[in-house]
Structure 1
Amino acid sequence: MLKDSTMWYASWFDTPYYHILYKDRGHQEAQQFMDNLSGYLSLEQDEKILDLACGKGRHSIYLNQLGFDVTGVDLSKNSIDYAAKFENETLRFRVHDMSKPYSEKFSAVFNLFTSFGYFEKEECNLNTIKAIKSNLNEKGFGVIDFMNVDYVIDNLIPEETKEVSGIIFHIKRYVKEGYIFKEIKFNVNDEELFFTERVKALTLKDFQNYFEEAEVNLLDIFGNYQLEKFHKTTSPRLILIFK
């Protein structure tokens, strides 16, 4: 059964299997990153944060626990339905396309954990940058937490098998035509399922070009969740601070 399309994220992210495969993501590391980031940006309690492409809301929920007024948005209705269970007066979740401006202004807009570069049309990547800019208030900051493409390609694991919750996932990774692909095959109830993740292999220079075209100012660049200096060959992340 083929569950692949040019909008792969619209189908794969909406399945329960996506969340099963990635259920062991480091929550402690994510929380430390939010601690470091909110401290670096000097965000005060009750300030408004937009978590763009929030998934099931793990960053949003923790940011709210830190005292911020948080809105999490994602294209996946299933993810938003799950995250909505955690809503309160200062935490809300909505289905929204991140390439379009949201209806409010924020002190910070976060796009975290390589939730960028999915779109088929190049203009949608640029429009996402423009949308983030339009959603910032006068003193607001935008943050994109992307993979460091050079590091990822140098350390790419071509094939591996992972068993999670009784499901055996066969994973294949490769680089093709400017994208990093991850093919995921597994069997559930004697049904063969296949999904493909595809993320554009965007470099720092690519983001600088987006920022120039969107008239966005790049303020700082970090290479990991401890907010240490970015190094092209050794940093696992490319974290961009802009306004």
Structure 2
Amino acid sequence: MTTEHTKWFSSWFDTPFYHILYKDRDDTEAHAFMDTLTEYLNIPEGGTILDLACGKGRHSVYLNTLGYDVTGADLSGNSIAFAKQFENESLHFKVHDMCKPFNQKFDAVFNLFTSFGYFDEDIDNLKTIKSIKKELNATGFAVIDFMNSNFVIDNLVPEEMKVVDGITFFLRRYVRDGYIVKDIEFDHDGNSFAFQERVRAFSLQDFELLFEKAGVYLLDVFGDYKLNKFKPETSERLVMIFK
């Protein structure tokens, strides 16, 4: 069980159960988004991309098949260990804390699938944006693909039971202290487990303030993976392009 809220992501994401619970994520949709995004940004052939908070590398691997030189970075040692099986001359994976600069310049830095807003301290969110800024070359672009918090809160499913690979997960969702929280409980091999996900319910205005403090410029805002216009009440995603 994880009891230290500031480190929930480093414990939960490092378990095999996290990947079991979310094994049904839609790769087709993710691939189509990468096609659309890289074309829109006009990343040069063979261009360099940092996939920040890459998990097991599903976006990184696909981006590499499109001809890009990709580095996947994640705090989870287990996820990176798994992803390393896919490495080649133009695809690399490293354990990395996204609050700290990667000390390398890229044509693009992608932070995908709501992999932001985990921290309790505001300064860590700001440090992450500043680090992304340092990781961009002179012509580079950064992308944060976040949830649309308004839409998520309005459509929150308070309780859900989900059975995956013979494990029954009990999920409870609620909003507390500016965070969207998900409690996850299940039994496995005679043991009981309890984890919690906590993501800051950032609005576009919250990001705009962060960007201003970090000295980066918001260029485009989209509301879905087809890069349609962002609508605060109805868009499912908040996709921001900045530099």
What pairs with 1:162-181 in structure 2 (closer than 5 Å)?
162-181=162-181
Take 1:21 and 1:44, find their aligned partners in 2: how far apart are those partners? 36
Aligned to 2:147: 147
Q: Residue 216 of structure 2 aligns to a residue in which SS?
A: coil
Corresponding letter in the other structure for 2:107: S
Would you say 1:47 and 2:52 are equivalent positions?
A: no
Q: Residue 82 of structure 2 aligns to a residue in which SS?
A: helix
The alpha-carbon deviation at position 134 of structure 1 amounts to 0.4
Aligned to 1:195: 195
Would you say 1:207 and 2:184 are equivalent positions?
A: no
Gaps of 5+ in 2: none
Aligned to 1:64: 64
Corresponding letter in the other structure for 2:62: Y
Aligned to 2:132: 132
List per-residue Cα deviations over 1:176-217 (Å, max 9, x = no partner): 000000000000011110000000010000000000001100
The alpha-carbon deviation at position 132 of structure 1 amounts to 0.3
The alpha-carbon deviation at position 19 of structure 1 amounts to 0.2
List per-residue Cα deviations over 1:79-133 (Å, max 9, x = no partner): 0000000000000000000011002100000000000000121100000000000
Would you say 1:17 and 2:29 are equivalent positions?
A: no
Q: Residue 117 of structure 2 aligns to a residue in which SS?
A: coil
What pairs with 1:75-114 in structure 2 (closer than 5 Å)?
75-114=75-114
Taking structure 1 as reference, are residues 52 and 185 closer, same or farther at Cα in structure 2, changes over 3 Å only? same
Take 1:131 and 1:29, find their aligned partners in 2: how far apart are those partners? 28
The alpha-carbon deviation at position 5 of structure 1 amounts to 1.8
List per-residue Cα deviations over 1:136-177 (Å, max 9, x = no partner): 000000100000000000000000000000000000000000
Q: Residue 18 of structure 2 aligns to a residue in which SS?
A: helix
Q: Residue 208 of structure 1 aligns to a residue in which SS?
A: helix
| Identity in percent | 60
Q: Residue 185 of structure 2 aligns to a residue in which SS?
A: strand
TM-score (norm 2): 0.99
Take 1:38 and 1:83, find their aligned partners in 2: how far apart are those partners? 22
- After the TM superposition, which segments of 4 or more aligned residues of structure 1 sit over 2 Å from their partners? none
Corresponding letter in the other structure for 1:24: D
TM-score (norm 1): 0.99
Q: Residue 10 of structure 2 aligns to a residue in which SS?
A: helix
Corresponding letter in the other structure for 1:238: L
RMSD: 0.5
Aligned to 1:5: 4
| Equivalenced residues, count | 242
List per-residue Cα deviations over 1:19-61 (Å, max 9, x = no partner): 0000000000000000000000001221000000000000000
Take 2:32 and 2:237, find their aligned partners in 1: how far apart are those partners? 15
Aligned to 1:120: 120
